[in-house]
Structure 1
Amino acid sequence: MQTMKTTGKKNVAPKRATHQIRIIGGQWKRSVLSVIEAEGLRPTPDRVRETAFNWLNHLFDAYWTQRQCLDLFAGSGALGFEAASRGAQSVTMVENHTQAYQQLAEVKSKLGAEQCQLLRSDAQKAIAQLIAQGKQYDLIFLDPPFGKDWLHKMLSVCQSLLLPKGLLYVEAEFALNPESDDAHMQELLRGWQLLRADKAGSVYFHLLQRSNLAHETHEIKA
């Protein structure tokens, strides 16, 4: 056993360990993404991404070529790089954690993912900036850290960033239930129609569209 040497210097925090996930479809299928261990960083599992992108492929008629995507709380980039791999024209990835942002930059360089733009920012500030710039998207990924009421802060403002027939993918630690009698849930989902929902382990994942446009989903192909 190696004995640790003691010095007069302060202890230096060890480099955070990493684990890996894989892109599951498109041009970078099976490409490995390294994921740092950081508080609140929870990469979307393969099973969940496979189901979610099956939903999206159906609603988009597998037509990704002109899709503009926004990945808030990008973290590992699992969702954003998956969309880019399948042919999305543009993916804006927002991340505020320094090491996670650096990891995103490394993966972007490794893949040659020029259609991915990285934005180092707090998600709320990024949304305000993007709205001020008049940006709108076909698809927004909203996968925030659990237990911090991010959905209450984000769901309503995401409507301003979606194109008229745009879709919002949401992960949460609880089910989004439009039939609930709970006042908080009703407020949370005000203006939204739930198109798809499922659960894997402790993760609930959903696909939403503006409530007054949900009946037009079958026309979503450009």
Structure 2
Amino acid sequence: MSETPDFVDAPFILPVEPVTPERIGIIDLYLPEGATGPSPAVVFVCGGPLPAELPWNRPRDWPVYRGYGSLLAAHGTAAAPLQLPLNTYADFPRAAEALAEAIETLRADPRIDADRIGIWFFCGGGPLISPWLREAPAWLRALAATYPVLGSRPGKELLPEFEPARALAEAGALPPIVLTTVGLEDPLIAGTEARFIAVAEEHGAPVEVVDVPDGYHGFDFMEPTEQSREAVLKALHSVLDALK
């Protein structure tokens, strides 16, 4: 059994009234209270890969994602953190299929506005943004990524179809993309983000960069500073604006 890391139980950095989610398979669905019609929704891809045997491989239960889910619900938007089958680098294809299936499950729910969906990627789940860059459906109104891995690193090679910079270069029309980066990122991860931003600039992609100059990877649950809180809220409001 692996000892649970401190970050697993670290609290979300913003105060928010907890919302109890409805569990639907791999989906935890947070719904806004008192909604009078179908709500827009944001799907959360909670990072990885994490070995299946880890007892703490349950990111949708971590306080940070419960915080994001409750925060979105408080702003009138449904939220859906996922428990994807992403245990090794070989699992990206099946995780991508599970993500697409979960989104279709949500879009079929009468409580969800099927034409106003966003997807928010975190950490090692970043490569899963690639299919949505390469072909963005009309109902996809926003893409977001927070301290994401956006490409291969030494010893952690991705299949070509999961290289986000390559997908971005092949993209057609895109929804707004909100990318949150940290100044004190692991250099190898920062390098993947820099390549992605360079391709975005070259192709005129609609990428908004929210930078946290003094932030580390995991700033939204490890660093309760004013700078960190402002960055989360800025990214949040950009996503919400795109869903309107």
Q: TM-score range by the shorter chain?
A: 0.3 to 0.5
Higher helix share: 2
TM-score between both structures, scaled by the size of structure 2: 0.38
Higher strand share: 1
TM-score between both structures, scaled by the size of structure 1: 0.41
